[in-house]
Amino acid sequence: MWTIVLILVILWVLGMVTAVTLKGLIHLLLVIAVIVMLLRVIRGEKPV
């Protein structure tokens, strides 16, 4: 679980850095991924 969180944080930082060049696409995708992960945790599903 912590590995996934670490990877997401790293990707989030990369998304913030590249937001100017890619117009926030990476940041938007990362936000969607975090929301999906939180929904899975709230529902009690096992993390992948």
What's the pLDDT score for residue 21? 65
**Does residue 22 sit within a domain?**
yes
Given pLDDT bands bounded at 50, 70 and 90, which one contains residue 48?
Answer: low
Give the count of domains, the chain.
Answer: 1
- pTM score over 0.75: no
**Does residue 14 sit within a domain?**
yes
Q: How far apart are CA 14 and CA 33, in angstroms?
A: 15
In tens, the pLDDT along 2-47 reads 788 888 888 777 777 776 666 667 777 778 888 888 888 888 876 5
What's the pLDDT score for residue 10? 83
- Domain residues for the domain of 32 are 2-43
- Phi/psi of residue 23, each to 5°? 60, 35
DSSP tag of 48:
-
**Does residue 48 sit within a domain?**
no
